[in-house]
Each structure stands twice: as structure tokens, then as C-alpha cells.
Chains A and B, each alone.
Chain A
């Protein structure tokens, strides 16, 4: 996640209430690794999607993204697919925390959804704005400690870094 201050990616569009069962259905949770589960991401809704997502892509979704259970695999799989960022009108609370802690960038914005089409490219400047065809959509800035968690690649790594800095 280093060097993420500004990046451009192709977008995939999803709707409202994308729950954690859509992100990864319960039946695949018993697979051994997140990489094994990733091909089944979003399969109840769009079975073809996981195969098409490429490294650096971005998801743009509606409200209440990540609602449902607390499974930490949901953000881990989205990250494993190569998604660099999820933009949504709103996120379910536990999913939001799990995502930051697993190093997945989330941005809340409720204006861009009506203006973009699937496959468009957008540019994200962290803590500043989203750019799409010359239009700018301001984004609320993330505090430095959350940026640090994201840049470290998740909370475990951020804590390891913190503790190493202290010579532990």
C-alpha cells in the first residue's frame, strides 16, 4: 500500500446493501486461504466479477456496503482480488474497521455514483479528492493514524512497526 497517495484505476459498479455473504458466501469460508476463496467473491450477485477484476481496480458501490456478519475475510478477499479502494455511499461499521485493519482503503462519497459508468477510470488523491473526467469530488480526510495503518498494510503490521521503532 506504499505510494498510494495518488492513483488511477478502472471501476466496477455495485449497488446498495452488498452484504458480507455476497462478498464471500458462508459455504466458501471453510476453504484454506483467502486466495482460495477469492474466485467466489461476489458470486451470488455477479459470478463473473472475481475473474475480471484486475490489480489496481476500484469498486464504486451504494449504501451500507459490507453489512452482515463480522467475518474479517470479506475485506481480505477484496484486497486479495487486487482492489485498491472501495468507494461507497456508506459502509457497515464492523466492515469499515476490519477493512482499515486489514489494509483496505475505503472512501465514503455519495455523489460520484450517478456520474460514473462501469469501466471508467478515476483518479484518487488520498485525503483530497476523486477525479473523473475533469470533475472533482472532495473526500473527507482520513486522520494520519488510519493512513498509517493502511500504509503499513494493516493493523498487525502497523503495530509491529510501532513496536520495532521503540526497539522492542
Chain B
């Protein structure tokens, strides 16, 4: 019997074939800790009695949620993080370079076939390059730092096969939102998603990243794409035979297969206040809005900013609407600056912020209040995520978000 991608990654890691449902201990290739949880990781690590990180070069600490500090106690996290890095000899630390999930692949920390854990539920993102990556709690992170291992349950795989050419106004974000709507918020719990078909083969790594990022919103443990020449170029590597083999076999066992025609996708939004409450934008048209947010680890990449700029070029954001644009990393910020994208956005009235988690985690830069409506390109619209619990958050693609910013109400791009 053949294997799915996740079965191959785990097999390669532990050196024997595995089957779904089995619990195995894997050797961890890389870990990511962000600023919110570093104080807890540090104290658990020491409480456990460790005095050394198993391999300090495999650990990455990224400050992103609290950068720059917006509340008086925030810098405490940086102090504890800096002390931890110093004490245990870590070299990989980013204090203001961008969002953790963007940096992990962009800065070359994750390669195809790697097993990676992070203290953040959106760690699923690195499946975009064919890595098995998933979120864990801070207690487990502390134990990995000490041991270099973690137990996992080998997940069943749901195959999502998409063929054909996407309509002009549809982005990868619309695909993943539609999929989450179809699966439901727990439809992929315990499971791996595996994306196949010429539609995803033709996608950029950045677009694949938007999809793997949001897999957790259907409960998925990870979301995998087969590494190809685009992956190799993005990671700046030559793919080995083992990496090229990270595709689901013809006779692999899938617990479910979902098939889509790309031509049938339409722009959609996740409506308040569940990510699986997904509706076509056309059905929501006309609703007045107060703010638009384009950014986050879901949609703050260069192609997202450029897609928004294409719609905003020569136009202006509607009066009373704030358009907040937050590039996902410093590198993206500089690229968008160099190719004129930021100038187009600024000309159209956008407020362009420093790279960070920004408004997505609801701590800074555009907090809303009761009754207000925001169109946002990030990954969660839970109650209270961007201000009070009576803020209406609609999740959308960068194209939809830009079109709404110009119109001052919900419109399809």
C-alpha cells in the first residue's frame, strides 16, 4: 500500500513505515517560539530541570505579536526572551523582522520534509513547502527544547484535488475559505490536508502559504503541498530525491477526497464570528464598512499587496474608511517599496504600518468598537479578535478587501 505525504515525512524521520492512528516519537528539525509565550516556555524549561537546549541552532525566537510594544508590560517579554537567548546560546532571534510564520520559510529555517513545531496554532503554514508543521502548547515546547523529540499521532489524510484555472477575481484565500466552510471548523481535526491538482501546481508558494496557514481553522494538524521547482526556488535549494518523493502515492489511503473545479470558485468571505461561516461576496454586497485590514501571516505577502495595489491604483479609499496595510516581513516591505506598490497604496490613502502581527491579534493599530465592521485578510474572525465582542469581522482576500476599501461597502472585486 502506498503512502500519503505526511506518512512519508514521518517514515523518513523515524526510519520505519507508519500508519495513521499510530503514536510515534519524532525527532524535531526546528522549533519556533514567539514573544507571547517565551516567558512561559522559559519558566517551564527551567522547572523541568533542563540546563541546555538540545540543539540551540534549531530553535528560533521571533518577536512579532508585541512589536513594537503597545502596552507597558510588553517589553518584559523581550527582556525574558533576550535573557533566554543569551543564557542558552541561541543565535536565531528576530526582534523586528516580521511575522513568525513568514520568517520561518522566508529566512530559510524550514525545508521540505522537515518536522517543525511552534507555539502558535498557525504553525501549519510551513506545509506550503512540504514540511510537517503544527502548533503546540508552551509546556511541550519546553520539553522539546530539552529533548529534541515530541510524540505525535500519525494523522489520516484528506486529499483536496483542485483542477482548472481560477477566475481573475478569485485568490487562494477564497479557495481555503470555501474549503473551511465545506469541512466545518472541526472537519479536519487530527487530520492532514494534502493539496493536489494543476490549480495548486500553478500557484505561487505565497498562495500555497495562505492556504496552509488557515488549515487549522478546520482543525487540521497540518496542510501539505508537494515540493516542486517553485518550492526549490523559494527555499533556494535543489530538491533531493527524497524531497521530490513527497507526493501522495497513487495507492495511498485517504480518509476523504474532495474535488473542486477552479472555474467554479467565486470571491467569498467568512462572516461574523466563525471562520466556517462562509458566504459568496455577492450575497453580502452593500453592507457598509468602517475599516479594511490587508496584512497578516495569511495575506501580507508581496503578491497580496500587489493585488490590492492593482485595484487601488488611481483610486482613493472611501471617505470614513481606514485602510491599514501591514506587510508580513521587512523583506516584503522593502520589495513592495522598491517596486512601487507601497507608493500606489499610500497614494490611494492607505495607512502603511511596520511589519508585525499588528491588528490581526487585536493589540494595536486599528482596534474597533461596538457595531463597527472591518474587512480583513487575516485568518480569524472570532468574537473580540480586533476590539470589542460586537465588532463585525469579515475575512476576505486582498482583492476583495481592496475593492471594499474603495467602495466603502462590501462589493465583489
Residues of A within 8 A of B (CB): 17, 64, 67, 70, 72, 90, 92-94, 96-98, 101, 140, 142-143, 145-146, 155-156, 159-160, 162-164, 168
Closest to B121 in A: A70
Closest to B47 in A: A156
CB of B189 within 8 A of CB of A145, answer no
Question: In this assembly, does B146 line the interface, its C-beta being within 8 Å of a C-beta of chain A?
Answer: yes
Enumerate chain A residues within 8 angstroms of B340, measured Cβ to Cβ.
Answer: none
CB of B49 within 8 A of CB of A160, answer yes
> Measured between C-beta atoms, what is the minimum distance from A20 to chain B in Å?
13
Q: Residue-by-residue, is B107-150 near A (CB-CB < 8 Å gives 1, otherwise 0)?
A: 00000000000000100000000000001110110110011000
CB of A101 within 8 A of CB of B219, answer no
> Measured between C-beta atoms, what is the minimum distance from A73 to chain B in Å?
12
Question: In this assembly, does B88 line the interface, its C-beta being within 8 Å of a C-beta of chain A?
Answer: no
CB of B48 within 8 A of CB of A163, answer yes
CB of B140 within 8 A of CB of A97, answer yes
With known contacts A92-B189, A93-B221, A163-B49, A156–B23 Cβ distance under 8 A:
no
> Measured between C-beta atoms, what is the minimum distance from A96 to chain B in Å?
8
With known contacts A64-B189, A92-B186, A92-B189, A142–B23 Cβ distance under 8 A:
yes
A125 to B142, CA, bound (A): 31
CB of A101 within 8 A of CB of B137, answer yes
CB of B48 within 8 A of CB of A140, answer no
A94 to B136, CA, bound (A): 7
A98 to B23, CA, bound (A): 15
CB of B189 within 8 A of CB of A143, answer no
**Number of A-B pairs whose CB atoms are under 8 Å?**
70
> Measured between C-beta atoms, what is the minimum distance from A147 to chain B in Å?
11
Enumerate chain A residues within 8 angstroms of B190, measured Cβ to Cβ.
Answer: 90, 93
Enumerate chain B residues within 8 angstroms of A140, measured Cβ to Cβ.
Answer: 21
A97 to B151, CA, bound (A): 9
A160 to B147, CA, bound (A): 12
Question: In this assembly, does B71 line the interface, its C-beta being within 8 Å of a C-beta of chain A?
Answer: no
B151 touches which of A67, A145, A160, A163 (Cβ 8 Å): A145
Enumerate chain B residues within 8 angstroms of A17, measured Cβ to Cβ.
Answer: 186
Kindly list the 3 A-B residue pairs having the minimum CB-CB distance in the complex, ordered from nearest: A163-B49, A159-B48, A160-B49
Known: A143-B151, A145-B25. 8 other contacts (CB 8 A): A70-B121, A92-B219, A93-B221, A94-B137, A143-B24, A159-B50, A163-B50, A168-B51
With known contacts A92-B219, A97-B136, A159–B49 Cβ distance under 8 A:
yes
16 chain-A/chain-B pairs, Cβ below 8 angstroms = A17-B186, A67-B185, A67-B189, A70-B121, A72-B139, A93-B189, A93-B221, A94-B137, A96-B153, A143-B24, A143-B25, A146-B151, A155-B140, A160-B49, A168-B50, A168-B51
Enumerate chain B residues within 8 angstroms of A145, measured Cβ to Cβ.
Answer: 25, 151
Enumerate chain B residues within 8 angstroms of A156, measured Cβ to Cβ.
Answer: 44, 47-48, 139, 142
Q: Residue-by-residue, is B38-53 near A (CB-CB < 8 Å gives 1, otherwise 0)?
A: 0000001001111100
CB of A160 within 8 A of CB of B48, answer yes
A132 to B224, CA, bound (A): 42
Enumerate chain B residues within 8 angstroms of A97, measured Cβ to Cβ.
Answer: 136-137, 140
A156 to B147, CA, bound (A): 13
A168 to B52, CA, bound (A): 11
> Measured between C-beta atoms, what is the minimum distance from B226 to chain A in Å?
24
Closest to A159 in B: B48
> Measured between C-beta atoms, what is the minimum distance from B235 to chain A in Å?
27
CB of B189 within 8 A of CB of A155, answer no
Enumerate chain A residues within 8 angstroms of B24, measured Cβ to Cβ.
Answer: 143
A96 to B221, CA, bound (A): 12
- Give the interface centre of B44, B51, B142, B143 by most chain A CB atoms within 10 Å: B143
> Measured between C-beta atoms, what is the minimum distance from B385 to chain A in Å?
13
Interface residues of B in 171-198 (CB under 8 A from A): 185-186, 189-190
Closest to A140 in B: B21
A146 touches which of B23, B48, B139, B147 (Cβ 8 Å): B23
Closest to B150 in A: A97
Enumerate chain A residues within 8 angstroms of B121, measured Cβ to Cβ.
Answer: 70, 94
A101 touches which of B23, B47, B140, B185 (Cβ 8 Å): B140
A70 to B380, CA, bound (A): 15
Enumerate chain B residues within 8 angstroms of A160, measured Cβ to Cβ.
Answer: 47-49
Enumerate chain A residues within 8 angstroms of B186, measured Cβ to Cβ.
Answer: 17, 64, 67, 92
A162 to B190, CA, bound (A): 29
Enumerate chain B residues within 8 angstroms of A155, measured Cβ to Cβ.
Answer: 48, 139-140, 143
Interface residues of B in 234-266 (CB under 8 A from A): none
Enumerate chain B residues within 8 angstroms of A143, measured Cβ to Cβ.
Answer: 23-25, 151
> Measured between C-beta atoms, what is the minimum distance from B122 to chain A in Å?
12
Closest to A154 in B: B139
Enumerate chain A residues within 8 angstroms of B185, measured Cβ to Cβ.
Answer: 67
